Amino acid sequence: AKSEIGLIGLGTMGAMLALNIAEKGFAISVFNRTTAKTSEFFAEAGELAPKITPTMSLEDFVESIEQPRNIILMVPAGAPVDEQIAALRPLLGPDDLIIDAGNANFRDTQSRAEQAEADGVPYLGIGVSGGEEGARHGPSIMGGGRQEAWDRVAHILTAISAKYEDTACATWMGEGGAGHFVKAVHNGIEYADMQMIAEIYGIMRDGQGASASDCAEIFQTWNKGTLQSYLIEISGEVAKATDPATGQPVLDIILDRAGQKGTGRWTVIEAQHLGAPVPVIEAAVAARNLSAMKAERVRGETTFGAAPSALGKHTLSADELEQALIAGKIMCYAQGFHLLNNASVEFGWDLPMPEIARVWREGCIIRSSMLNDMAEALTAAPKDNLMFAPFFAKLIEENAGGLRKVVSTALAHGLQVPALAAGLSYFDAMRTGRSTANMIQAQRDFFGAHSFERVDQDGAHHGPWGSGA
């Protein structure tokens, strides 16, 4: 019998996704460029082997899948996806569906979808989150492309996805690159969540002399409250781990230079294109870039001396630090959903806002209990800024004071809190009815005759510049 689905690319994610698919009872064919990896994968498939058909050529792979075919690509984003599509299409029929499940830039997915549309063949771009573990036991899946194409494979994608209670964390987001866009914003938020946790860790470590295990305890406590989330949980786990070689906390032996594959940066770039303010995410991406500049930072420390950092008697309580993270997190998500709204309008996707929050509740890296509250808030008011949802407005009221105290104390002592500070500034900007942009408008009109609006009259006006005023 032929397989119900095929998968190309048995790397970290592809291998785990293939096992997950087989485990849910779907017969699957697999192919990998380096065929030795395919044999190795099959040899280790154990009791799932009967559901798996390993193939050593693309032709055999295609032949082994029942028609109309459904084929998942799990290869690195960019040129490898185009190369695989180019190699596959000539072997496929017009109804055969290619599904790119890697982290494609949504603009690439948009153009691949357009090309597929022009060729009259089906195509999907789906964002898969949850890392290796998620891929194996239940990722969060954000689909994009034609809805008919999604419907064709939805039973498989929902079966393999994470579940929140009984709801599958696999949702069709919209046409073209919608799924990959939502995945990019997920990753941008992930950068920000991680950065804010790292900033709080920095205050505890450098400001208050906390050991890694002190930090672990605090993260574990927070994980039982409003901040309950995968990232807080694993922050507790990593903080308590010991390096077997040296007996030191693992955190203390890890170099302070963070990597990135670009998805957080894409979020910021797209936010700029769309005029959506996402300062918390921007700060997180900038912080990763700064982290890479290790040599310059060391040079700066020699040149200018290290920042004072120790808080001394200005200690911050665990409750205040928790409040700062809660308020910062709300600002970050308010910005992320605002960006999604702008994109939805710009690209005509009609993104299902509450469904986005729902699909992120389980399986993905940013999963947290707060996302369930966001799903409820967005069900009531899908297009409204999350800050104004009664549940979050109340949380902001309760926690913004902590955020202000933490940010101001940290800044006064030279501790790095760029993402939390961006969250606080966003909050303040969002409750300033009269901003200082009147000065910007005056300057623009002065040097470029761009005109301005008046508070007391309609129409475009110019200032009395150059008239001796």
State the residues that interact with ligand NDP by CB under 6 A.
Answer: 9-14, 32-34, 37, 74-77, 80, 83-84, 102-103, 128-129, 131-132, 261
Taking the least distance from each CB to ligand NDP, the nearer of 41 and 222 is 41
Nearest Cα neighbor of 31 from 78, 91, 108, 77 is 91
Tell me if 214 sits within 8 A of 204, measured CB to CB.
yes
Between CA 162 and CA 166 the distance in angstroms is 10
Taking the least distance from each CB to ligand NDP, the nearer of 234 and 430 is 234
Beta partners for residue 461, in sequence order: 452
Taking the least distance from each CB to ligand NDP, the nearer of 131 and 202 is 131
- Rg of the chain (C-alpha set): 25
Give me the active site residues, please. Answer: 183, 190
Shortest Å distance, C-beta 306 to ligand NDP: 35
Tell me if 315 sits within 8 A of 137, measured CB to CB.
no
Taking the least distance from each CB to ligand NDP, the nearer of 140 and 223 is 140
Buried-state track 102-125, b at ≥16 Cβ within 10 A, e below 16: bbbbbbbbbebbeebeeeebbbbb
Between CA 377 and CA 384 the distance in angstroms is 9
Measure CA of the first residue to CA of the last residue in the chain; give whole Å: 87
Shortest Å distance, C-beta 108 to ligand NDP: 11
Q: Tell me the residue number closest to ligand NDP, measured at CB.
A: 11
Between CA 28 and CA 61 the distance in angstroms is 10
Tell me if 125 sits within 8 A of 103, measured CB to CB.
no
Tell me if 428 sits within 8 A of 403, measured CB to CB.
no
Between CA 50 and CA 39 the distance in angstroms is 14
Between CA 390 and CA 133 the distance in angstroms is 35
Q: Phi and psi (nearest 5°) for 47?
A: -70, -10
Between CA 236 and CA 241 the distance in angstroms is 9
The number of angstroms, rounded, from the C-alpha of 213 to the middle of its chain's C-alpha atoms is: 28
Shortest Å distance, C-beta 14 to ligand NDP: 5
Tell me if 349 sits within 8 A of 174, measured CB to CB.
yes
Shortest Å distance, C-beta 33 to ligand NDP: 3
H helix runs in 141-229, sequence order: 147-160, 178-202, 212-222
Tell me if 31 sits within 8 A of 11, measured CB to CB.
no
Shortest Å distance, C-beta 291 to ligand NDP: 19
Binding residues are 9-14, 32-34, 75-77, 103, 129-131, 186-187, 191, 261, 288, 444, 450
Shortest Å distance, C-beta 104 to ligand NDP: 7
For residue 68, whether the previous peptide bond is cis, meaning omega lies within 30 degrees of 0, is yes
Would you mind telling me the total number of residues written for the chain in this entry? 469
Binding residues for substrate are 103, 129-131, 186-187, 191, 261, 288, 444, 450
Binding residues for NADP(+) are 9-14, 32-34, 75-77, 103
Between CA 168 and CA 421 the distance in angstroms is 36
Shortest Å distance, C-beta 130 to ligand NDP: 7
Q: Rounded to whole angstroms, what are the CA distances from 128 to 57, 147, 170?
A: 26, 17, 9
Taking the least distance from each CB to ligand NDP, the nearer of 51 and 136 is 136
Shortest Å distance, C-beta 325 to ligand NDP: 24
